[in-house]
Amino acid sequence: MVWGLVVLRFSPDGWLEWLLRPFVLIEPSGGIYFEAPAPDWRFAFLMVFLAAAAFSQWRRWTVAPEQARAIAGLLITFYLWTWISGNGRYFLAGFFLVGPLVVVAYRWLPGTLAFRMSALGLVVAAQAFAVYEFYQPNQWGLVRWYHGPGIPIERSPIRERPAVFLTMTGISYSILVPQFHRQSRWAGMTGQHDLRTDSPVYPAFRALLRDPLPKYLVVPFFPRLMDEAQQPIQEARAVYANALATHGLRMADRPCLLLRSSLTGRPDARDAARPSSGFWFCPLLIVSDSAGIASASSRLSLTDGVFEKIEKACPRYFPSENGLERHYDGVYMRHYPASDSRLYIDENGRVLMKYYRALNPTVIGSSENILEGRFKIDCDKLPGRYQLPWSRE
């Protein structure tokens, strides 16, 4: 079933998961409506209380108009939110409202006052236990920002002169921008969404490259990617070069400048000889406006026939307009940020797929089989997607 969603990470697969969403939120697993486990019992209890009240008092049940509007509004927006994205950050108003409405609904329950109070106490106990078990303060975000820069970075002349900085990071690290010269310019090439040559903002990026200011690639470093000279190892350079070539850029022959930083409040000075966190600033050269782009495009076009076959067969998880390609270590990969899924062609010609929450990739078949149409994918449920309890193996 294709719901026409923009982002599929937290959305249900099929009408039954959508209908049972109040009870799915009880699941103590990550990726339900938030990346981390965050079970919420309140919507399930609200539905149970409303059903019990309606079943027992359907002939004499009277509800104040404002109460009816509040509950109807919450339920309608709840299911609209679930259908559109299911991402908890876009339904904060509903999470604030559901608690008071559970208290309203408990008053309509049949039975004695002691029974109703016990039912309400059960709600409080279940939700309090869930919060106690799964809530961890300050786990979301890179740093605790007390005073000064959130991610301090050591002093260097490169921070005092205007330049063009092109980031290649999983997140933007825009928190670095105020620590550099105010006339410097920044752009992100790869991350959660790669900069594509057919993007509406790409002409502005090409204009940025024509700026006479010196240009640097900005990448966070990790000790395992650093050689003895504190430079990126060859494997890392190959990944950087592949992404840069798409835009007609290459790394200059000069060494990268390493600036130590820290996620704990000050630049890491525990080991001056081999720092543990920071950023490389690598000088860049413009190859041409077209040569690098053409060479990268011709190289990646070798995979188009295979990937396009899968995109046509399963557009829900592999939308053709959303694929971003990379090539490294003999493996071709196309990433689909809108569905958190990936396709791979390895050095042996095997084609694999992977949803981001799946532990391992799933083999679809060989490149020859894909091109001949001899493959099958369950486009309703990729491995790694949420499964209702009775559907699990």
Single residue among 232, 265, 289 that ends a domain in this structure = 289
Decide which of 276 and 348 is more confident.
348
**Confidence band of 275 (pLDDT split at 50, 70, 90):** low
Same domain, 247 and 310: no
- Give the residue with greater pLDDT, 281 vs 333: 281
Q: What is the DSSP letter of 174?
A: G
Is residue 290 over pLDDT 60? no
Same domain (yes/no): 114, 42 = yes
97 and 48 belong to one structural domain = yes
pTM reported for the whole predicted model: 0.74
Residue with tokens 């000075």: 269
**12 half-sphere exposure, CB direction, 13 A CA radius:** 19
Could you tell me if residue 147 is inside a domain? no
Tell me: do 274 and 324 sit in the same domain.
Answer: no
For the chain, what percent of residues have pLDDT higher than 70? 85
* Residue 121 pLDDT: 93
Judged by average pLDDT, the poorest of 19-23, 212-216, 372-376 is 372-376
Please indicate, yes or no, whether residues 243 and 203 belong to a single structural domain of this protein. Answer: yes
Total domains, the chain? 3
Burial class of 102 by CB neighbour count within 10 A (0 to 12, 13 to 18, 19+):
buried
pLDDT at residue number 1 = 35
Q: Is the residue at 143 inside a domain?
A: no
Q: In which domain, by residue range, is 43 found? A: 15-134
Region 328-342: what's the mean pLDDT? 84
Residues 209 and 277 in one domain: yes
**Residues 284 and 368 both lie in one domain:** no
Q: How confident is the model at residue 59 (pLDDT cuts 50, 70, 90)?
A: low
State which of 289, 324, 357 marks the end of a domain. Answer: 289
Q: Are residues 369 and 279 in the same domain?
A: no
Higher pLDDT, 91 or 110: 91
Neighbouring CB atoms inside 10 A of 117's CB total: 12
Evaluate whether residue 367 is within a structural domain: yes
Q: Is residue 242 part of a domain?
A: yes
Cα maximum dimension of the chain: 83
CA 43 – CA 94 distance, rounded (Å): 10
Q: Is residue 241 in a domain?
A: yes
List, in sequence order, every residue forming a beta bridge with 355; answer none if it has no partner: 341
Average predicted confidence (pLDDT) for the chain: 84
Residue-level pLDDT at 286: 87
**pLDDT score at 163:** 95
pLDDT digits (tens, 9 = 90+) for 66-75: 998 999 999 9
Q: Phi/psi of residue 195, each to 5°?
A: -80, 120
Is position 385 within any domain?
no
State how far the Cα of 122 lies from the Cα of 132, in Å rounded to an integer: 15
